[in-house]
Amino acid sequence: GIVLINDYSEIGCGSTIDRGSISNTIIGKNTYLDNQIHIAHNVKIGDNCIIGCGVIINNSIIGKRVVIQDNCKIGQKGFGFIPFKNKNFKIPHIGKVQINNDVEISSGCTIDRGSVDDTVIGNNTYLDNQIHIAHNVKIGANSIIAGQVGIAGSSIIGNNVKIGGGSGVIKDIESNSIVMGYPAVNFKEFIKNWRK
């Protein structure tokens, strides 16, 4: 494979892009990569994207008009062990991360690659700063997730979901929900319990 960089794209100082091993590494048209970025082999980034300083992207397919702010880590192995008596066996991860169109990911977020299935972020979803999304999570379209939220592996988040800051998501969330807390619950229930 090769590195294919399309027209009008820019790459900042100290950034590295690995050539493809199985397929080509692709940077779309009019995409801007800031300084000190690492793009691993076989990653595909769509047109009109902005990738901030210090971002590392592995095992990922990224759509069009995606913004990834500084110091995000996308597509690394997630947490997963099989415990043995004297040593824990780390579960291999073979899935990828798929980030769809018009997504914005703010600074310092971590999105794990899938273990068997893929981790998916739906169209027009916004992730605030310092969010962790574990392996195999599926987040629907038009969702908004506030800062410092953690989403447990294999959770499915519907469309048009809002998750309040500092929440811990440990189970699926239906579309058109607003949740907050640890564990995350319906927002009205959270406020009711908080006032006690």
User: Which residues are known to be catalytic?
Assistant: 135
Beta-carbon contacts of 80 under 8 Å, excluding residues fewer than 6 positions away, are: 90, 91, 93, 115, 135, 153
Its sign, for the CA torsion 44, 33, 77, 66, is negative
d(CA 151, CA 157): 9
Alpha carbon 57 to chain centroid distance?
A: 10
CB within 8 A of 134, min separation 6: which ones?
78, 79, 112, 119, 150, 151, 152, 153, 154, 155
Name the 3-class secondary structure at 181.
coil
Two structure tokens written together for 38: 């690492």
Tokens linked to 65 = 């008009």
Q: What distance in Å separates the CA atoms of residue 6 and residue 21, rounded to the nearest whole number?
A: 19
